[in-house]
Amino acid sequence: MMLRIENVLSKTEVAACRSIIDDGEWLDGNETSGHQSRLAKNNLQLRQGGQAARDAGEFVISALGRVPQFVAAALPLKVFPPLFNRYTGGQEFGNHVDNAIRRLEGTEFRIRSDLSCTLFLAEPDDYDGGELIVEDLFGEHRVKLPAGDMVLYPASSLHRVTPVTRGERVASFFWLQSMVRDHGEREQLYRLDCAVQSLAGEKGGNDPVVLELTNLYHNLLRQWADT
């Protein structure tokens, strides 16, 4: 399941986040690449573990906690500290798949990467190219969202970023381990949750059908979730 989540950051919050990262220390993006990704990657990345990356990462994590759609869709168990990248002057990231296990260097923190997340921090009109292209059995999905919007997609997907030929593409990217490992089960829970919330808005939370569907949702989550 690919999902667009709008307004994770407001325009004011995007500006605040950019004020943190723009003057930070930017390095070769292969600082955090695996072997296969290193062959395809050509961009800049905010130094992982630096003060700017930590402050901006905490800013993003705090915002995610205020977005019910993100929580409902991802059912996050562990979130890798957000990273930040920049593409300009023809830079791109060729086809690759994200590492199944992500480790935070210098710590014992690690996650199974179930979902990849890209939070856009530059407006689409500010640069040419820079589309995130995600491949699945239906073909290619091209993503270029307004600043503050985010896309979630399976970390198992082949994906790439097309060359940026004008301007500068800036984004935050990170991975998460969901409480529900299986993508199909997670999608069914999300769709059921959306239906329950819509029905509750029409009939009220104490409606017998709403209560029965809520019970079903939680029993399925209890059956499928790891904590």
Distance CA 137, CA 140 (A): 8
* CATH 2.60.120.620 for domain 3-178: yes
Token pair, residue 77, equals 């168990």
Q: Which among 227, 3, 206 is positioned nearest to 115, based on CA atoms?
A: 3
> Do 183-224 and 3-178 fall under one CATH topology?
no
pLDDT tens-place string over residues 200-211: 999 999 999 999
- HEC per residue, 66-99: CCHHHHHHHCEEEECCCEEEEEECCCEEEEECCC
Question: Among 21-35, 40-54, 88-102, where is mean pLDDT lowest?
Answer: 21-35
pLDDT reading at 33 higher than 60:
no
pLDDT reading at 160 higher than 90:
yes
pLDDT reading at 37 higher than 80:
no
Across the chain, mean pLDDT equals 95
Q: Where are the domains of the chain?
A: 3-178, 183-224
Token pair, residue 67, equals 């977005």
Q: Tell me the CB-side half-sphere exposure of residue 20, using CA atoms within 13 A.
A: 23
User: Is 134 within 8 Å of 162 (Cβ atoms)?
Assistant: no
Tell me 158's DSSP state: -
Q: Tell me the CB-side half-sphere exposure of residue 86, using CA atoms within 13 A.
A: 17
- Find the DSSP H helices in the chain: 11-21, 35-38, 51-64, 68-74, 183-203, 208-224
Regarding the domain delimited by 183-224, which CATH topology (the fold level of the hierarchy) does it fall under?
DNA Excision Repair, Uvrb; Chain A (4.10.860)
* Average pLDDT rounded to a whole number, residues 138-144: 95
Q: Which among 132, 17, 3 is positioned nearest to 63, based on CA atoms?
A: 17
Which sign does the torsion angle of CA 148, 151, 156, 159 carry? negative
* Amino acid identity for residue 45 in this structure: Q
